Chains A and B, each alone.
Chain A
Amino acid sequence: MSDEVKRFFTSILNKVNGLNCVLISDRDGVPLLKLSKDNKFPELGTKQSFLSTFSIATVQSSKMMLGKNKQIILCYKSSTIVQLNKAPLIITFVGTESTNIGHLLTYANEVDKYLEEYKIVLEQNLI
């Protein structure tokens, strides 16, 4: 199963223009899976403090009476970060400023079926 997850996210890395790195972490920002194109992980977007900030941001943005927050897209001068809210998991994609965000988001709905294993392990550890 884990190999299947790796294969799925590696295929996203190879297909989406500009994408460099994928991270699956829990809501505290502890990484469970880290994948990158050249085994280099950009400092921005992979730090635990950065990842855990998303948990706060997604909770706050869900209070705007617009429904539950699903994803947050961050566009910086030299990088793009897309974070998906798959509670209790956070999926973080880090890429260059020209990353094809639209293409990346087409995979957002497919991600769920590959995360069941991680969700079960996390829920067992939380009890």
Chain B
Amino acid sequence: MESKLDNVLDSMMQTENTIGVLIADNQGLSYGTRGVANSQAGGLITAIADQAAKIHPNLDAPVIILETENTSVTISKYGFHTGAIYKRKSQSKK
């Protein structure tokens, strides 16, 4: 039943520098995760997306990027679903 979702998660993981993927529903419950993404983070990621959407309630939900020293997490809300992609920052070429 969830094979389509599994395929989407697997194909997202194939993208360069991607180290984790998470998809959660509107209630913060994770549908699926791959890589470093923790299924318990679904609630927090949905909460971040909900809070950010309140800044401009008349516009579409924004894409949020959380950056740390080595990793970036891109959060996007689409309808009733929220997705997060964990990426390793590419090393700058000298």
Contact = CB atoms under 8 A, between A and B. Distances in A.
A100 B46 contact: yes
A10 to B, nearest CB: 17
A2 interface: no
B26 A98 contact: yes
Interface string A63-106: 00000000000000000100000000000000000111111111
A58 interface: no
A69 B44 CA distance: 24
Interface residues of A, number: 13
Contacts of A36: none
B70 to A, nearest CB: 23
A78 to B, nearest CB: 14
Contact of A98 (B27, B29, B30, B44): B27
A52 interface: no
| Chain B interface residue number, banded | 10 to 19
B15 to A, nearest CB: 25
Contacts of A103: 28, 43-44, 46-47
A105 B40 contact: yes
Contacts of B83: none
26 contacts: A16-B47, A17-B47, A17-B50, A98-B26, A100-B27, A100-B28, A100-B50, A101-B28, A102-B27, A102-B28, A102-B30, A102-B40, A102-B42, A102-B43, A102-B44, A102-B46, A103-B43, A103-B46, A103-B47, A104-B28, A105-B28, A105-B40, A105-B43, A106-B40, A106-B43, A106-B44
Given A16-B47, A103-B44, A106-B44, 12 more contacts: A15-B47, A80-B27, A98-B27, A100-B47, A101-B43, A102-B24, A102-B42, A102-B44, A103-B28, A103-B47, A105-B28, A105-B43
